[in-house]
Amino acid sequence: MPEVASSGSEPTRDVWPTKGPKAKPAGLLITFGIALALIVGVGALFYGETYRSPSGTEVAKSVGTATVNGVTVPHVTLHFQTYPDSTGIVNGVPIHPSGNSGWPAYGLTNSYQVPAHALVTVYVRQYDSGGSLNNPWFATVRGTIDGTAIVDGKVVKSISPNDVGHTFTVRATPGTDPGFFLSVPLPAVDGDNQTDNGKYHTVVFSFVSGSKGLYAWNCEFPCGEMLASFGGPMSAYGFMSGFINVA
């Protein structure tokens, strides 16, 4: 290890506070008041915009048990879609009632619930067009059983990084399994089509859920607008992001 030399001429921390004007208590109070108002105001703005899907949380369906590494665990399934726009309707209510119907979105909901330490098999219909990832790392299937996914009936470990519609990328949050990570690329279709008569890719994958807690998911394909396509639906909660409640 190289030794770190010190010149010894720098002022110690004790020297610094004596320089510069002293802050006036009244000025400080006003500054603090403005800061507090801003924090509350911005907080209220975000709280008011908290998105909740009209179809609520999709609770994984039990399909029995499975054996993973010699251990018998519950086996459940989830089904969701990725749409090129947000015009989808659930029981007469748009998926995204707040507008921005032109933005791509996961549906019918962005909120999922699975049991802890269960085998979860996910069925996705991907209806959206796409393009190139910023980071080809996300073109590889990660965190699933065998590191594979089944795309249109074919087992794959990765897809082309230049032909991605969205990704389903799940991370642990504080208090959950720190190492949990799952990322599955969803290939793009040529052109946009949201109807069952149109084009879509089916992607099926299985993973073992972690311990109880909330896990965050988001899309890593820049499918938004502005900000290098990471704005709009990529930064507004609920279109390309959500939570998995491991209960």
Binding-site ranges for Cu ion (CB under 5 A): 166, 219, 221, 223, 240
Q: Quick one: tokens of 214?
A: 């909330």
* Cα atoms in the Cβ-side hemisphere of radius 13 Å centred on 241: 16
Place of tokens 């610094």: 16
Got the DSSP string for 203-214? EEEEEE--SSEE
Nearer to Cu ion, 118 or 168 (CB): 168
State the minimum distance, in angstroms, from the CB of residue 141 to Cu ion: 16
State the minimum distance, in angstroms, from the CB of residue 165 to Cu ion: 7
Q: Are 30 and 38 in contact (CB under 8 A)?
A: no
Q: Are 244 and 215 in contact (CB under 8 A)?
A: yes
Q: Which residue is nearest to Cu ion (CB)?
A: 219
Nearer to Cu ion, 108 or 219 (CB): 219
State the minimum distance, in angstroms, from the CB of residue 150 to Cu ion: 20
**CA gap 17, 9 in Å, rounded:** 17
Nearer to Cu ion, 141 or 223 (CB): 223
State the minimum distance, in angstroms, from the CB of residue 234 to Cu ion: 7
Return the amino acid letter for 182: L
Nearer to Cu ion, 166 or 201 (CB): 166
CA distances from residue 49 to 44, 46, 85, 227 in whole angstroms, order as listed: 8, 5, 19, 21
Element holding 26 (H helix, E strand): helix 25-48
Nearer to Cu ion, 161 or 210 (CB): 161
Nearer to Cu ion, 108 or 118 (CB): 108
State the minimum distance, in angstroms, from the CB of residue 98 to Cu ion: 18
State the minimum distance, in angstroms, from the CB of residue 240 to Cu ion: 4
Return the amino acid letter for 31: T
**CA gap 156, 141 in Å, rounded:** 8
